[in-house]
Structure 1
Amino acid sequence: MDWESVFDVDYSKNKDFLLSISLLMLVLGVIFQQYWLLALTVLLISYIILNKWYDNVVAKKLKLQNKRQTIRLFPDEEEAMFIVFRNQSFFPYINGRLRFQMPAKIDSPYKDKTSGQLADFELPFSIKGNSNPVVQLPFIANQRGVAKLTNISFVFPHLFNFGKVNLQYKPYLNTEIIIYPRLLPVAGAPLIDQVIYGSHRTRISPFEDVQTIIGTRAYQQSDPFHRINWNASMKTTQLQSNVFEPVIDHSITFIVNLHTSHHQRREGLLHMERLLSYTAFLCHYALEKGFSYELFINARKPGSVPFVHTLAGDGKKHYMHCLEMIARIHSLPMTVPFGEMLYHVGQGRERRNTLIIIGELTEKSHRVIRGWHHFGSVLQLKLFDDGASIQPLERGKTAVATETTNDNESVSLYK
């Protein structure tokens, strides 16, 4: 059964009292042969049975459509959630109140009160007999994260007494609201457009794939000797040079450090949200440019890879996957030491591409990055009071933060 009926103590006491009175009237009616007492006892027992039957039926006949649905939106966007009920009984549920909880990052006209990170929602709701009503819940997303409906209950007056029926929904509701991070613009983003040798085909590039010949052309004095195609030269009786496939690498690796040296919780939260918003903007920039990119974030997660990582990809589908992954990072995550994650990032990496460091750099981080000269261009996102900017990483600069934790331990977002 999806719903569980919960009654208050007074309701149970009243039922016990009526049952005791009916038994007493039955005994007195039999002893004194008072038929009016017996008739009144029959009516009272019938009323008790009717109440008991209603209590058992009321929860079984009410269904809630629990289809899996996901609502995706950005902060400050408005949307509506639809909750479909099905009343299989001819009994109506009149003047009821539908109650549930969601994270405080959701705003709605039906928001009642907020306690910590959760908010209570309540709206008037009535159901006719044998009907399929739909509850429309308009809401506005406030900030990044994932929101789900929990502690759903439906409270309405009892049909045969002055009490109230409290139906509590027990299954997990398969409705999820994913709020993507805000896209905060980053100055200097064109620095990402670096020309590096790679495997992506292009029309014009200073690099060529010498393993792929796409044709020949007339030999020029500036051509090196090894470019001469002797077979083509013999056929045309003129020297011919090979034309190789022009290639370039436009892949990016974003490496995000959520750990911060801020001691105040509020400052640390704002710092983390800024980093994730700038990261989302850079992912969008890479999408518009058609670049391939992968993402490393040192938010701890279970599994063989202890941090958040998406494989390299491009296109809108990959972009939406990265946004959802960022949205699912907890607002107070445990973090992997940044130097430890950088070490894993560098292991087995042979392809040269553009690396962008987002977040504070530690002393260990600088030591690891100093060995990355052969990987490609390394850039850093620097934060300012009024924004952020992409700049070349100063490899010899002193670290701005120090991790004092053991490399094998989880660390809090705050020191």
Structure 2
Amino acid sequence: MWLEARSSERHILFLEILTFISGLLFFISSQFLVASVFIIILVFIRLYLHYNRNAGSDLLLAEEQTVERLTVDDESEWVVVFKNGKYPLRNVSLTLGYTDHAVFLNHDAERAGNTIQWNGHVSMEQYEEVEIRIPFKAVRRGKMKMVTCQLYVPHLFGFGYKILQYKGHFHQEKRIYPEVESVDFSPTVANHKPGEEPAVYSLYEDLTLPAGTREYRTGDTMQRISWSAYARTGQLQTNLYEPVIEEKYMLILNVTYKHGKNILFEKLIKQAAFIMTEAHRKNQPIGLCVNVRTKASPNFYFIAPNKGVNHTRQCLEMLSILSVGDATLPVNVMLNQVAVMRVPVTDFIIVGESGSAERLHALKSRVWTVNGGGTVEWKQSNAQ
């Protein structure tokens, strides 16, 4: 798991050979006291080489496979645990590199490209477990991960060194959700289709969700009479059920403008994140399409309409990893594929450039376009 680089040993090996020959000559000439001094030096050299070659070879980087979810400006800690082996490590210089989605608290960071580096010192005795906690503050969306771990190990005898570079996989990550920018989206016309979503008023009811009873009125069918309520009150009572409608949204995020990325790239992501969080707050099913190319089918980012905590997390995490370097798909091509897929939604919400009128009309549902801080319903007559 560790790539090792050691200080040169050639001069030490040369000194070992010279010491051995000198000690042997003194021993042959019966100068045992001087020969014993050379033997001690030879033992010291062997210990030096043994430590230099084996120190840190059994060091373990114990990293929890955990995922923490944060928002911008949240504070947290990155925990790194080292489990040492049978060779003590003293005054080790530790350098940890992270993606630049955060800043360290109470500690200066060195920037190297798109990474930030944390530097510190640590010592570990035999079989000791050392835990390092690095407080940080999230500053931008994305996945914060450790990308490098390097230890500069000075020799225990005071000269020479060894560099250990971790070559394993880093599993721990912090997922930082995008910031949100308010968008006013309040459909003015209810969609009167049978479905599963609660509504204030609807022509349809869910017969599995009783909502109480009321007094019997002329015209109520026998199937709706609550006989248990009649037995209890002595008056005919009619069962009431929760009104429901079909209400499913699909958020279409167009990150392009003509043949390049939209200069309002981050603003569009913030607006999309707001719509997602509002749909979750209102318990409304919503899906997500982004015209970024993928190798899967369909060949763009697509999450089917759903609701719940896990679904919202999945959508926000998709928004958090979007980059200006992503390969994109023309929005009209994506709209055409969505129309062919016949995604069962009642409303499409388009963030970014809306595409051609022909493609929007083919969606066969209401279409809303985000304009500034609000939404406008797209109509075929307005596009002509």
TM-score range, shorter chain: 0.7 to 0.9
Q: TM-score, normalised by structure 2?
A: 0.83
Whether contact under 8 Å (2:250, 2:345) holds in the other structure is no
1:68 shift after superposition: 0.7
Task: Indicate whether 1:289 and 2:282 are aligned.
Answer: yes
State the TM-score, normalizing by the size of structure 1: 0.77
Deviation per residue, 1:324-354 (Å, 9 max, x gap): 2222333521112211111111124264511
Matches within 5 A, 1:161-310: 161-186=158-183, 188-191=184-187, 194-200=190-196, 202=198, 204-208=200-204, 218-219=217-218, 246-261=243-258, 268=263, 271-310=264-303
Flag the 1:242–1:125 CA change in 2: closer, same or farther, 3 A: closer
* Percentage of matched positions with identical amino acids: 22
CA change 1:75–1:317 in 2 (3 A) is same
Q: Mapping of 1:41-120 within 5 angstroms?
A: 41-89=38-86, 91-108=87-104, 109-120=106-117
Determine the structure 1 residue equivalent to 2:234. Answer: none
How far did residue 304 of structure 1 move?
Answer: 2.3
Give the match for residue 144 of structure 1: 141
Maintained 8 Å contact 1:79/1:139: yes
**Separation of aligned partners in 2, 1:231 and 1:112:** 72
Question: In the TM superposition, what whole-angstrom CA distance separates every residue of 1:210-233 from its partner, at most 9, and x where no partner exists?
Answer: 99999996556xxxxxxx969999
State the shift of 1:34 in Å.
Answer: 4.8
Residue by residue over 1:217-265, the C-alpha shift from the partner in whole angstroms, topping out at 9 and shown as x without a partner, is 6556xxxxxxx969999xxxxxxx99998431221110111113597x8
Residue 320 of structure 1: aligned partner: 313
Unaligned runs of 5+ residues in structure 2 are 226-237
Question: 1:407: which partner in 2?
Answer: none
For 1:232 and 1:92, the matched residues in 2 are separated by 81
Using a 3 Å threshold, how does the CA distance of structure 1 residues 352 and 74 change in structure 2: closer, same or farther? closer
Conservation of the 8 A alpha-carbon contact between 1:290 and 1:314: yes
Number of equivalences:
368
Question: Residues 398, 201 of structure 1: CA spacing in aligned structure 2 closer, same or farther, 3 A cutoff?
Answer: closer
Q: Distance in 1 between matches of 2:153 and 2:56?
A: 12
In 2, Cα distance between equivalents of 1:396 and 1:12: 82
* Gap change, CA 1:159 and 1:243, over 3 Å in 2: closer
Return the letter of the residue paired with 2:139: N
User: How has the CA–CA distance of structure 1 residues 34 and 262 changed in structure 2, closer, same or farther, with 3 Å as cutoff?
Assistant: farther
Structure 1 unpaired stretches of 5+:
221-227, 234-240, 400-415
Distance 1:164 1:342 in 2: 60
Determine helix, strand or coil for the equivalent of 2:16.
helix
- CA distance 1:47–1:242, shift in 2 (3 Å): closer
Aligned twin of 2:340:
347
2:377 matched to 1:379? no
- C-alpha displacement at 1:70, in angstroms? 1.2
| Cα distance in 2, alignment partners of residues 305 and 100 from structure 1 | 38
**Shift of residue 293, structure 1, vs aligned partner:** 0.8
Partner Cα distance (2:311, 2:268) in 1: 20
After TM superposition, give the deviation of residue 37 of structure 1 in Å: 5.3
2:46 partner letter:
I
The 1-side partners of 2:330 and 2:146 are apart by 33
Change (3 A) 1:142 1:392: same
Letter matched to residue 360 of structure 2: I
SS of residue paired to 1:191: coil
SS of match in other structure, 2:42 = helix
Matched, 1:389 2:382: no
Deviation at 1:396, TM superposition (A): 5.8
- Report how far residue 162 of structure 1 moved: 1.1
Structure 2: how far apart are the matches of 1:31 and 1:231?
Answer: 117
Cα 1:169/1:367, change in 2 over 3 Å: same
Three-state SS of the structure 2 residue aligned to 1:312 is strand
Question: Aligned equivalents of 2:26 and 2:189: distance in 1?
Answer: 97
Cα pair distance change 1:163/1:242, threshold 3 Å: closer
Q: Equivalents in 1 of 2:276, 2:25: separation in Å?
A: 83
CA shift for structure 1 position 95: 1.9
2-structure distance, mates of 1:213, 1:296:
33
